[in-house]
Homo-oligomer: A and B are copies of this chain.
Amino acid sequence: MAITIAVDAMGGDHGPSVTVSAVFDFLRRESDCAAIMVGREDDLRPLLVEVGQEFGERLRLHHASEVVGMDEAVATALRNKKDSSMRVMADLVKDGTADAGLSAGNTGALMAISRFVLKTLPGIDRPAIAGILPTSKGHTYVLDLGANVDCQPEHLQQFGIMGSLLVSALEHKERPSIGLLNIGEEDIKGNEVVKRAADLLRISDLNFYGNVEGTDIWKGTTDVVVCDGFVGNVLLKSSEGLAQMIYGALKQEFSRNIFTKLSALAALPVIKAFKRRFDHRAYNGAGLLGLKGIVFKSHGSADAFAFRCALQRAAEAARERLPEKIAQRMAAVAPTPTLCD
């Protein structure tokens, strides 16, 4: 069965110059997939005409007159731009024309629009953003990365369920392990919300590992790490900042003088292998989970390779009918038992 992805072709720092070539590459690799490029026809048609022919019906253009700016207020994007490429992309997922949507635009606006258009699944109080981080073993999924900044224990439990099903869908793992991000492994550690969330996760039928600490994320201790969106967002941004600082310093040291530059030349294969190993582009594509439809978010600065990786994740979630699985799972969850305080 063909999978159709609606693509916000205008979103991200680079817009069509990245999204178009990424979609070409995606369609060449995934012969069961189709794409609808959503955005200004005048901008897109010239880019699609020549190469696009080879995909025939698998590549379509859907005009949308407006664009949501990267720094635009969420309220403006939601209320005043009903014909934005982001909004129309979500509309196409809603009406079933597309099986999934992808945007590299403003995260806040994408979450607000997706939630408004698609609505949340029964049993899910709040949708969450699930991203992927590299580990020394491979990679791990972390949620929430910033959609929810005042979580209750029940929300963290729901994140655990959604994260488990996401990893099952994308990695074909039967029972992914779930860790709860905390400041110590012992049960007595942490704030009240996290302690109660641990109780809820423990009595769920998830493969709950228990508490994990900040170091465990990079060790790959569990397949999924669950946390409040405030913590997840700080974690994500501080990790990006630290990695940039380390790489920047390494580069600076290697370019200090003629001798260090020569040694950089000698070390080039090593440096390349090292960079390949933690190529964050391969981890691009965060799922907006808990909605009645599939929407993925690409990093705003994604290049064509990174954007194509996100397209493939969105397609895989659609093939695996992720929202239906989350809905079934939530229907099976008995109303949360009240724990003795």
Contacts and interface: CB of A to CB of B under 8 A. Distances in A.
A235 interface: yes
A146 interface: yes
Interface stretch (A113-121, A249-257, A299-307, A319-327): A249-257
Interface string A252-264: 0110100110111
Contact of A219 (B194, B241, B254): B241
Contacts of A146: 183
Interface in A230-285: 230-231, 233-246, 248-250, 253-254, 256, 259-260, 262-264, 266-270, 273-274, 277-278
B244 A218 contact: yes
B253 A234 contact: no
Given A192-B150, A273-B253, A241 B215 contact: yes
Oligomer copy total: 2
A264 B270 contact: yes
Nearest to A146: B183
A288 interface: no
Interface in A168-220: 181, 183, 190-192, 194, 213-219
A271 to B, nearest CB: 8
**Which interface residue of A230, A239, A242, A248 has the most chain B CB atoms within 10 A?**
A242
A219 to B, nearest CB: 7
A241 B214 CA distance: 7
A2 interface: no
A328 interface: no
A246 B278 contact: yes
Nearest to A274: B253
Interface residues of A, number: 56
B214 A239 contact: yes
A214 B236 CA distance: 8
Nearest to A241: B215
Given A217-B238, A241-B218, A244-B218, A267 B263 contact: yes
Nearest to A272: B253
A262 B278 CA distance: 23
Given A136-B248, A214-B239, A230-B231, 10 more contacts: A136-B249, A146-B183, A150-B192, A183-B230, A214-B236, A214-B238, A218-B238, A243-B246, A249-B274, A249-B278
30 contacts: A136-B245, A136-B249, A149-B190, A149-B191, A150-B192, A183-B229, A183-B233, A190-B230, A191-B230, A213-B237, A214-B239, A215-B237, A219-B245, A231-B231, A231-B234, A235-B235, A238-B238, A246-B246, A249-B277, A249-B278, A253-B277, A254-B270, A259-B269, A260-B270, A263-B266, A263-B269, A263-B270, A264-B267, A266-B267, A267-B267
